[in-house]
Amino acid sequence: MMQEKDAKGAAEEMKRILVTGFEPFGGETVNPSWEAVRALPEEIPGGRLVKAQIPVEYEKSGAELRRLLEKENPDLTILCGQAGGRKWVCVECCAINRDHAQAPDNAGEVRRYRPIAPEGPAAYFTDLPVEKMVAEAQAEGVPCEPSFSAGTYVCNHLYYTLLSEGRRGCFIHVPYSAEQARDTQRPYLEITQMTQGILAAIQAAI
């Protein structure tokens, strides 16, 4: 009987964690954020992971995230995306209330200086322990830094959407993968490093 109670208690303590990555965009055939996310284990100490791919479209990304939040009701949500040109994994501290990019999303839509929520605050800051998340990733040998700019493309749009829903969560940007950087001067990390950094950050957040 005691063992059954202990097992039940342990199950109740397990956090439900939604982790997302994006589909390819901008002419790329892969998106390292999704490759890194789908390589994560299904279960980690203290948490069970639900993994999902998000479309690189302003409208559909927010709608899909809201659908997942309603369906899964996660205790914690970690969004991941590609930031080509960065040299390390970046844990994003905030999301701003603007969509603004020259490049179209995967539906062909271009948004310029457009508020995500006209009546919403200028920015939201995560309440997750960013400094600890970065430190844990670095301790695993993964190049990782905090960032105060998630951009103004679909990544930031999704992050703002999450925090506007009053959900606990964070956004993590990853660089190009080795595959994307082949025969170029692009900075990159191996997918295994990205997965390791995301995992360390999640465990720190738990």
Q: Which of 80, 94, 155, 170 is catalytic?
A: 155
Q: Which of 35, 64, 92, 136 is catalytic?
A: 92
* Residues 37-46: b if buried by 16+ CB within 10 A, e if exposed: bebbeeebee
- Is 80 designated active site? no
- Is 157 designated active site? no
- In 45-187, where do the E strands start and end? 47-54, 76-82, 89-92, 94-96, 123-125, 144-147, 169-174, 176-177
How far is Cα 166 from Cα 51, in angstroms, rounded to an integer?
20
Which positions ≥6 away from 54 have C-beta within 8 Å?
20, 21, 22, 23, 61, 64, 65, 79, 158
> Distance of CA 103 to CAs 82, 148, 157, Å?
15, 21, 14
- Is 92 designated active site? yes
Beta bridge partners of 79: 20, 171
Spatial contact of 37 and 22, defined as CB atoms under 8 Å apart: no
Active site residues: 92, 155, 173
